[in-house]
Amino acid sequence: MSEALLPDEDGVASPPPAPATPKSRAALLKRLADVVSLPGSRINAFERAVTGDLLVEMLRLASFPERKRVAERLAPLSEAPNALTRFLLRDAPEIAGLLIDRCAALNDADLLGCARDAGAEHRLMIARRRGLSEVVTEELIRHEETPTIEALLRNGEARLSQSGVEHIVGLSRGVTALCAPLLRRPELRPSGAYVMFWWCGPEERKTILQRFAVSREVMQEVVEDVFAMAAAEGWQDAVSRKALQFIERRQRNRAAIEKSPYDSLEHAVAVAAEGGLKREVAAEIAYLSGIKPLTGAKIMGDAGGEPLAILCKGTGMGRQDLRNLWRSMRRPEVTADGAPHPDWERVIVTYEMLAVDRAQTVLRYWNWALSSALTPELVLAIREGDESAIGEYSVAERAAAMALGEDFRR
């Protein structure tokens, strides 16, 4: 027979108060928690496991304060029954957090299970835990929860896998708040930073160029004699030809200059400054610069303008050529009150801070990733937004997918 509801002060029936926990149960919970906390010299692994199983059965019906007291008792331990920790890790965040924060008994399997089966609050607490392995961080990243990923990026003692970093690079396009902490991670490689450049803000772009615009000098020294070998073979091997094009010192396309209606790259830029940057002239500037028109269009269409500075520095154009290219797109050089425009100032600073070789590295990576890596299959995957298919491609191809995804789907 069910217990009758008791009327409250307003005459509305309400359930009766929960009965107080029997003293014997509270005492038993405390004693069993004491037992599982004993050192290995006092209790063996089997006894600890059996005691833990009994505790789990009791805690299923225990109150919140009782479960919390047991979690507080287990938190400092370096050894704890696995069944008991698994149970408490899936409890309320206030209880699970006691173990997540400082319990040394937890292993990767425990944290993986919690991240997979519990909620967002649990994953956020795990992201702040010290000493996280790549296996655990990959699981946290998979859920694509911004607060969790931000906490993970700021956790200097968490280790990120390269696949995890690439996943975050992709997410940072839609959540630009991830860019700054991601750029501080030691696991980030130039391939990820160069593609992030397209959606990063001015300060993050500056960081990318300062930290990741690397020289190719060592590669050039090592393969110096290979250029003669490839030339003797008539540049027949497409694989080595693409790699050597990335490494070589010369940026401009000499063959394109011979066929061009313009005397030089600077001439083409000057013509554009006078009549505006028409599509045909823009394509010619790209060819003369040794890049594909698709790469050139991405550079010249960038709202920030820093890629223009990289293009001019990498191709050996001077400051006046950069100004002409800027004017060809009708971009402002001064504000209404006659002061230098912030965008133009930033572009000039970018031009001055970069060495030619480092600018070429960024420029050639963009050209390699944004054009040479594109295949009909990849273009189809980008247009359809098939991320599972994109994941099977190379680093350059995945970079192209991230950088050009929105452009192709417009």
Average pLDDT estimate for 21-37: 80
Q: What does R_g of the chain's alpha carbons equal in angstroms? A: 31
Residue 2 has pLDDT above 50, yes or no: no
Q: Which of 61-75, 159-173, 182-196, 370-384 has the lowest mean pLDDT?
A: 370-384
**Measured distance CA(257)–CA(261) in Å, rounded:** 8
Are 172 and 305 part of one and the same domain? no
φ, ψ (nearest 5 deg) of residue 13: -70, 140
Instruction: Specify the pLDDT at position 177.
Output: 94
Position 21 confidence tier, pLDDT thresholds 50, 70, 90: low
pLDDT computed for residue 49 by the predictor: 83
Beta bridge partners of 308: none
Which residues have CB under 8 Å from 323's CB, separation 6+? 273, 333
Residues 97 and 161 in one domain: no
Q: By residue range, what is the domain housing residue 401?
A: 220-409
Q: Mark whether 169 and 102 lie in a shared domain.
A: no
**Residue 345: pLDDT band with limits 50, 70, 90:** very high
> Pick from 88, 106, 124: which residue ends a domain?
106
151 and 299 share one domain: no
Say whether both 224 and 357 belong to one domain.
yes
Separation between Cα atoms, residue 367 and residue 373, nearest integer Å: 9
Residue 342 tokens, joined: 């912030």
Mean pLDDT of the chain: 85
Query: What DSSP state is assigned to residue 340?
Result: B
Domain boundary residue, one of 202, 234, 269: 202
Is it the case that residue 393 has pLDDT exceeding 50?
no
Q: For residues 219 and 21, which has the higher predicted lDDT (pLDDT)?
A: 219
Same domain, 326 and 235: yes
What is the reported pLDDT for 7? 52
Flag whether 157 is in a domain.
yes
What is the pLDDT, as a whole number, of residue 48?
A: 81
Task: Let me know whether 97 and 121 are in one domain.
Answer: no
Comparison of pLDDT for 71 and 45, the residue scoring more: 71
Mean pLDDT of 235-255: 88
Residue type, 171: L
Query: Count of domains in the chain?
Result: 3
Q: Name the amino acid, one letter, at 351.
A: Y
pLDDT (mean) for 209-238: 91
Q: Report the percent of the chain where pLDDT is more than 90.
A: 55
Q: Can you tell me the mean pLDDT for 270-293?
A: 92
Reduce the secondary structure of 308-330 to three states and give it as a string: HHHHHHHCCCCHHHHHHHHHHCC
Same domain for 188 and 238, yes or no, is no
101 shares its domain with 150: no
Percent pLDDT > 70 in the chain is: 85
- Which pLDDT tens digit goes with each residue over 286-330? 999 999 998 999 999 999 999 999 999 999 999 999 999 999 999
> Based on the domain organization, do 306 and 345 belong to the same domain?
yes
pLDDT at 405 over 70: no
Residue 385 has pLDDT above 60, yes or no: no
